[in-house]
Structure formats: C-alpha cells, structure tokens
Structure 1
C-alpha cells in the first residue's frame, strides 16, 4: 500500500520538484537517478578485492554526489547511492548483518544524520538482511585523517571505534557487511573491522559508495 501511495504521488512530486540529475542538474523525465551522460561517466572498479566492494571509484561524478549527500544535506540521494552499493554486492548466502560506520555524537548532532547509516538502511532494505545501526560506537571524536600517513591514521583511530556494550550477542558468529560512504586509506574501515571481529564477528565485508584509488 505504501508503494502504491508513493507511486500515485510521484507525478505531483515531479510537478512541485522538477526532476533533475543530482550530478549535473540536467532535467529528467522522472526522479530516477542520474542522466544518461553522467551514468556513463561514473567510474566503476573492474573487480573487488581485499574484502572491499565499491559501487564507484572516487571521480568527478561520485565526488559531486558524495559532497551533496554528506555535506549538502541531500539525504534524498540515499536510495540512489544505496542501490548502487547493493548492485555491486556478491551473492550473499545465508544471513548477513548490515552495520554502518559510526559517527561520534558531536558530529552527528552537528550534521543531523549519519550518512553511512542512511546508506546501510537502504542496503538492508534492498537485500533483505538485518540492520544494526548502533552495533559500533565512535567513543571519542577524531581529527581529519586527510594528509596523514598510514601509521599516523592508525594511531589517531586506535581505540576510537568499539562495539556497542550490548551488541555482543548480536555480533557473535555473524557475517557482517560494513557500510561506508567513501573509503580512502581504509584506516576507518579497518578500525571498524577490528572492533567487529573482537566482538566475535565471523566475517566482515566492507561495502562503500566510492573508493579512492591512489
């Protein structure tokens, strides 16, 4: 019924908010995603490796989408980005648990939302697997990792991300998909992976929208 209602209201929404490509602003026939040109210009990884699945490589198009979603308040991009992540996932046998990379509460209050949690929610909805939004905690704020070397990034993140004290039974023995928006050096995802494995997780697969390749 909810889907039918949304479908019925779509023409009205398109009238009030004319559909445009979120990357270039080109007018579209419907609120369906990117225009054909931007879709073709999205850079995609040829393969997945190191336990990481990325929907795109960080380039001009993905950068515009990430900046609008993460810093521009365009939370309506979550379904599109989430679909793109889910489309790159391998066949998932058995039960998996979807877990987002956490934000520290100060940044969450300042931004108003955790972009990774919004993406994780979409991935869980599409795949049908369970979602655990608060399985991980960022117990202290961390400085920006930009410009830091691998060892310095690891030092900054040491002990910053832990499993929720009440998530032990939920995580033990589980196969987990860790969802993030952008993977740069992998330091944050590795800190999350370590926390999940220490809590008893059986396997952790990282899924992100954009991956930065040096």
Structure 2
C-alpha cells in the first residue's frame, strides 16, 4: 500500500507542475484540487442546522425538532423537502455564475460534493436524480445545462440513476427577474412536461430535482408539480446555493 501511494504521487507530480490546482473561488494556487484559498474560505456560508425541515432555510436559533418556517406554513410547497449547500453570496455566487455564464463546467464536480453533503438525507431516500431542464434554444446558445452538469456529478458520486431526459422544457420563457409572484407562476404555466415514453421512469419513484440556485422556488415548484402529475411518488429539491429573502433584491438582478 505504501509503495502504491508513492508511485501514485510520482505519477501525479508532472501534472501538478504543469497544471497546479487552483482555488475554486479565485484561481490562486492551492495545495489540493477542489479546495479554496485562505482568502476565499471565509466568504462561504454553508447552510447548517437548525433549519426548516421543509424549506431548508436556516433558523437563527434552534426552535426544536420539526419546526417549520413561516413560508412553509403559509404556502406549503409541492415538494417534500428542499436543501441547499451554501448561501448565494460571495465565493459561492461567483462559482454559480462562473458555471452558468463562464463555461466553468470543471466546477460542477466540486460544487456537487457540497450538494451531496447538504442533501445526504434526501439522497438516502431517493430513487433517481432529475435536473431542471433548459429550453432547447437556450441550450444551443449556452451549449450545456448547468443543472444537468451538477446532477450528473451528483449521480456519479452517489451511484443514483441520472434521468436528464424525463423532464422537458417545451417552450421558452422570459426571464423571471422583475416579475411579481403571480407573473412568475403564469410565466411557467405549461412550460414543463414529461414525455410519454419517460413515464415508466418517473412513476412510483422518489426523485431529487436538481437546480443551481433556489431563489423564489417558482421554477422548482412548477417542475415538481409536473413530475407528481406524471406519477412520481415524491420529489425533493437540491440546489447548490440558496437566496435568503433579505438577499433576494440583490441576487434577483443577476440570476436568470
């Protein structure tokens, strides 16, 4: 075992010299791949317990097991649980934007590691993973779906089946930014569908719906309702980052 470890390090040494690992947040050189430098780590706020058992939004104080947020009580979502790895600010915000708009698909496996940690209880109960889809025109212009990059990496790390084609966005929509809550819902009305050939893959299965950023939840709620109508037993939602209500006015200007 010791000899094998030494040989592996010797084989990795030329690659480390030619392509040294860089910080996920700023690209400064770091010791290990997939890590952050000392300047970037303090800018990351992982979402930890105590949180709302349904929405996954953190509480300032421990309010007891099973406590729900006002949002979960006033407007119960169609999904069972939502979890996010980090708050959408600082370095995680830059990472999410770099993946989505900067073609940094190399970030997806490392972002997925944080998501797997945050969604451990969801993953333990899940049968398969489904990404929030892009419309084909936006997919052609962007060349990839950031949500599918994350869900594919999660599937590889957990061994869960990956079902990128079961949920389809059948019409293009205008950006959600600046729309009221009713306008957001209307904008997504009839957008998602499950093709008939995919119904057996969805029926009676507990699914994890993956997206990059949870803002108001309008998109994942609409997608969840379609999956449930297609026969899914239950849907949980897992995203990389979460916009808290007090941060939404800032983040919504950037997230499309």
Same fold (TM over 0.5): yes
In structure 2, relative to structure 1, the CA distance for the partners of 1:7 and 1:84 (3 Å cut) is farther
Q: Give the CA deviation at 1:34.
A: 1.7
In structure 2, relative to structure 1, the CA distance for the partners of 1:7 and 1:213 (3 Å cut) is farther
Alpha-carbon distance between aligned partners in 2 of 1:149 and 1:94, rounded to the nearest angstrom: 34
In structure 2, relative to structure 1, the CA distance for the partners of 1:28 and 1:113 (3 Å cut) is same
Instruction: State which drifts further: 184-193 or 162-171.
Output: 162-171
Which residue number in structure 2 is paired with residue 26 of structure 1? 28
User: Are 2:43 and 1:41 aligned?
Assistant: yes
Alpha-carbon distance between aligned partners in 1 of 2:126 and 2:186, rounded to the nearest angstrom: 34
Q: 195, 199, 210: which is aligned to 1:179?
A: 210
Q: Give the CA deviation at 1:122.
A: 1.0
Q: 222, 227, 235: which is aligned to 1:204?
A: 235
Q: Pairwise mapping of residues 34-113 of structure 1 onto structure 2 (< 5 A)?
A: 34-46=36-48, 47=51, 49-50=54-55, 51-91=81-121, 92-93=123-124, 95-113=126-144
Equivalent residues of 2:24, 2:34 under 8 A apart? no
User: Are 2:182 and 1:151 aligned?
Assistant: yes
In structure 2, relative to structure 1, the CA distance for the partners of 1:205 and 1:7 (3 Å cut) is farther
User: Are 2:156 and 1:125 aligned?
Assistant: yes
Any gaps of 5 or more consecutive residues in structure 2?
56-80, 246-256
| Offset from partner CA, 1:164-185 (integer Å, 9 cap, x none) | 2211111000000000001111
Any gaps of 5 or more consecutive residues in structure 1?
none
| Offset from partner CA, 1:55-106 (integer Å, 9 cap, x none) | 1111111111011111000110011011110011133445511000000011
In structure 2, relative to structure 1, the CA distance for the partners of 1:158 and 1:208 (3 Å cut) is same
Alpha-carbon distance between aligned partners in 2 of 1:15 and 1:107, rounded to the nearest angstrom: 38
Q: For the aligned residues, what is the CA RMSD?
A: 1.9
Does the residue aligned with 1:79 lie in a helix, a strand or coil? helix
Alpha-carbon distance between aligned partners in 2 of 1:9 and 1:147, rounded to the nearest angstrom: 52
Q: Which has the higher strand share?
A: 1
- Structure with max Cα Rg: 2
Alpha-carbon distance between aligned partners in 2 of 1:142 and 1:157, rounded to the nearest angstrom: 7
User: Are 2:226 and 1:191 aligned?
Assistant: no
Count of aligned residue pairs for this structure pair: 210
Q: Pairwise mapping of residues 161-180 of structure 1 onto structure 2 (< 5 A)?
A: 161-180=192-211
Q: TM-score, normalised by structure 1?
A: 0.91
Does the residue aligned with 1:69 lie in a helix, a strand or coil? helix
Q: TM-score, normalised by structure 2?
A: 0.77
